[in-house]
Structure 1
């Protein structure tokens, strides 16, 4: 017969089961961000979440970062990066999407979370220096962009919570991107959950991850090999000169 703790573990769900629109969420329109097809779809249908890692993949302007940001803020995470406790803010630029969303949490799940967005990391490191963590931190500003990024992953991505990442590959080399893949796999194996917006076909290749392709159609589930970014990268690497000839001519 299973113990009390084992039965509790069996009942525990992943942190986010679904994101639902509020009853008073606005109708899609030409006003930003309501005119973005992917955002409009989330506000019509919501978004179901699976355990483990979910990637949002799409071109610039497709809405993937807006959606990750809106969900991170609706979960209670700091808008410019950090955990629930972070109060870091420089110049508010967030969309109102988070105000229109509600999080359906998993029963008994962890409330820990962290929002990592590449565009605000420099100012976030300054915030950490001014508000030192009890656990201690390395001197992020004295490290390269990629090194500091990986150091932050090692110190903050250490509990089975809900992690939102916005284009983390921007700071990383090929090998460092592989290191990030191993971090995301560890989070998934430990019962955590990840939502990540990315342009990287390398990062999106994580085995077992759910991939949502974002574009003019809205949001659709896709296999890695069918992604537009994978097809473009394959064509380019097969013959860069032929690929670039169409652009440079």
Structure 2
């Protein structure tokens, strides 16, 4: 049995190109989609990175929805809909799953996390006789925390291991220190047989050593290394040559 068969919950995602009605309209006209055949996932961590507008969130959303997650995030049990803005891409993706099945799963989406927090409060009010959902997030309403604290509460409390976790820009409200703490939490959960697929702009979060990085560009999707990503190069250049960079920028 291969490493992917033994450890991966999600081995790959295949685009059913022959069934796509047209590659001239969004989201199929995105280079990351129009030139996609198959995306293979690392059994531990797969990163999807690239500039704004390259389709990172669109692709990650489609992967999550194709697996049965709510487009606005949460576990497989969440079915709420604040606004149906997800694309049709998920209909043309076919997942290839590993031999094992995850016991836990979560689609974390920074841009709609407020909606998820609201839904949790509503469900807990409407189901007063059931154990509160918020208990699995630390016991305190996510709306009563700062944005960063509420993000971190999910990572630390809700993610239990043996899970498939799909994270879209989880660093959005996290300080650099919290991003490093999250990297440590990812490692802890991988030790509990978890698999992560992460869209991010953060070189800190991209640094997990046993991983695969895909960079989305105008030419499509290319596998790369941390040191070759634009995010790492630009950050390193700025930190090492701050005064020169500021003179050029200002």
Question: Structure 1-normalised TM-score?
Answer: 0.89
Q: Match for residue 33 of structure 1?
A: 27
In structure 2, the residue corresponding to 1:244 is in which secondary structure?
A: helix
Equivalent residue, structure 1, for 2:116: 124
SS in 2 for 1:175: helix
SS at match of 2:26: coil
Distance 1:106 1:218 in 2: 26
Alpha-carbon distance in 2 for matches of 1:31, 1:71: 19
Deviation digits for residues 26-64 of structure 1, max 9, x if unmatched? 16623111111111233xx11112200111110001111
Equivalents in 1 of 2:115, 2:140: separation in Å?
15
Q: Please, what TM-score do these two structures have when normalized by structure 2?
A: 0.88
Report which stretch shifted further, 192-201 or 204-213.
204-213
Distance (whole Å) between structure 2 residues aligned to residue 166 and residue 105 of structure 1 = 21
- 8 Å Cα contact 1:54-1:211 kept in structure 2: yes
Of the candidates 27, 46, 50, which is equivalent to residue 54 of structure 1? Answer: 46
Q: Per-residue deviation at 1:123?
A: 1.6
Given the alignment, which residue of 188, 206, 209 partners 1:207? 209
Q: Does 2:168 correspond to 1:176? A: no
Deviation of 1:245 after TM superposition, in Å, equals 3.1
Could you say if the C-alpha distance between residues 228 and 23 of structure 1 is closer, same or farther in structure 2, counting changes exceeding 3 Å?
closer
Structure 1: gaps of 5 or more residues:
1-10
Aligned to 2:242: 240
What is the rounded CA distance, in whole Å, between the counterparts of 1:184 and 1:38 in structure 2?
Answer: 26
Q: Residue 13 of structure 1: CA displacement? A: 4.0
Alignment RMSD: 2.1
Instruction: Name the SS for the 1:60 alignment partner.
Output: coil
Match of 1:73 in 2: 65
8 Å contact kept, 2:120–2:134: no
Distance 1:110 1:94 in 2: 24
Alignment of 1:1-249 (within 5 A): 12-22=6-16, 24-26=18-20, 29-42=23-36, 45-110=37-102, 112-132=104-124, 133-134=132-133, 136=135, 137-248=139-250
1:28 & 1:203 partners in 2: Cα distance? 35
Q: Secondary structure at the match of 1:131?
A: helix
User: Offset at 1:215?
Assistant: 0.9
Unaligned runs of 5+ in 2: 125-131
Displacement of 1:134 in angstroms is 4.7
Q: How far apart are 1:181 and its partner, in Å?
A: 0.5
Deviation at 1:78, TM superposition (A): 0.9
SS of the aligned residue for 1:18 comes to strand
CA contact under 8 A between 1:14 and 1:51: conserved in structure 2?
yes
